[in-house]
């Protein structure tokens, strides 16, 4: 972790010393993990959203909202850099930069919550994709897989899938057949063209997966 803070800007006038800009909180992190983590970092590149840090003492470091709730710091950039490779003198690493939108998230509303011992309950999400293999009016066959290495995701249930028609309305999945290697038959009645995706990671029946990208098109002949 390397602090890359933007220093405050001051103006020295004849009559006073003025604060012009408060500066910004920025850090550069480097992870020594694997290619799957590097690709996951890249897929989450963002210029808005929130982040929560866990410090060395096991504390969650975030900000307090006006209603008293704890939340992540607002960001204006989460930027993964190019991977550095092991050349015999340095290890392979995946660098990324986090820049906060406002210093007030820390300086005015910063909040620390004791998280010691609970970090083992955090799941590292795995980017997941869906391939539509076949679509009929009574059945849609899909394969759910890990984006990094194409491993099939098994153990999903019908509630894990979100099947919609072209207008965005939900289509009912009456039953599901798991065929192995991440392949599922989603059964229904009067199914039409639309899209399919997975529900949010918190609601999935199996962990720790996250569907990324846009919902996948389903074309029923």
Domain ranges in the chain? 2-121, 126-218
* Mean pLDDT calculated for residue range 12-34: 92
Band of pLDDT at residue 150, cut at 50, 70 and 90: very high
What is the domain class of 126-218 according to CATH? mainly beta
Percent of the chain at pLDDT > 90 equals: 76
**Rounded to an integer, what distance in angstroms lies between the CA atom of residue 125 and that of residue 200?**
11
- pLDDT at res. 101: 96
Say if residues 70 and 154 touch (Cβ distance below 8 Å): no
**Rounded to an integer, what distance in angstroms lies between the CA atom of residue 128 and that of residue 213?**
9
Angle at 1 between CA 122 and CA 76, to 5 degrees: 80
- pLDDT at res. 58: 84
Say if residues 38 and 85 touch (Cβ distance below 8 Å): no
**Rounded to an integer, what distance in angstroms lies between the CA atom of residue 157 and that of residue 25?**
43
Model pTM?
0.72
**Of 214, 183, 179, 178, residue with least CA distance to 196:** 214
**Burial group, residue 201, by CB count within 10 angstroms (0-12, 13-18, 19+):** middle
- pLDDT at res. 119: 66
**Cβ neighbours of residue 153 closer than 8 Å, sequence gap 6 or more:** 128, 144, 145, 146, 182, 206, 209
- pLDDT at res. 55: 87
Residue 72 pLDDT more than 90? Answer: yes
Mean pLDDT in the chain? Answer: 93
Residue 33 pLDDT more than 70? Answer: yes
């Amino acid at each position: 972790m390397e602090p890359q803070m933007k220093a405050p800007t001051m103006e020295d006038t004849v009559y006073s010393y003025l604060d012009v800009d408060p500066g910004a909180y920025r850090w550069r992190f480097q992870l020594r993990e694997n290619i799957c983590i590097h690709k996951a970092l890249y897929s989450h590149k963002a210029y808005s959203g929130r982040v929560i840090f866990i410090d060395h003492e096991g504390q969650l470091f975030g900000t307090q909202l006006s209603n008293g709730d704890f939340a992540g710091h607002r960001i204006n950039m989460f930027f993964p850099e190019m991977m550095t490779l092991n050349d015999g003198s340095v290890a392979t690493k995946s660098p990324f930069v986090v820049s906060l939108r406002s210093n007030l998230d820390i300086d005015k509303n910063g909040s620390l919550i004791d998280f010691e011992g609970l970090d083992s309950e955090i799941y590292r999400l795995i980017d997941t994709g869906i391939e539509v293999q076949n679509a009929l009016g009574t059945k849609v066959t899909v394969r759910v897989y890990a984006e990094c290495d194409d491993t099939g995701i098994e153990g999903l249930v019908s509630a894990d899938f979100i099947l919609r028609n072209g207008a965005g309305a939900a289509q009912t999945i009456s039953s599901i057949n798991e065929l192995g290697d991440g392949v599922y038959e989603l059964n229904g009645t009067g199914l039409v063209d639309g899209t399919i995706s997975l529900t949010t990671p918190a609601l999935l029946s199996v962990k720790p997966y996250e569907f990324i990208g846009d919902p996948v098109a389903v074309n029923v002949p």
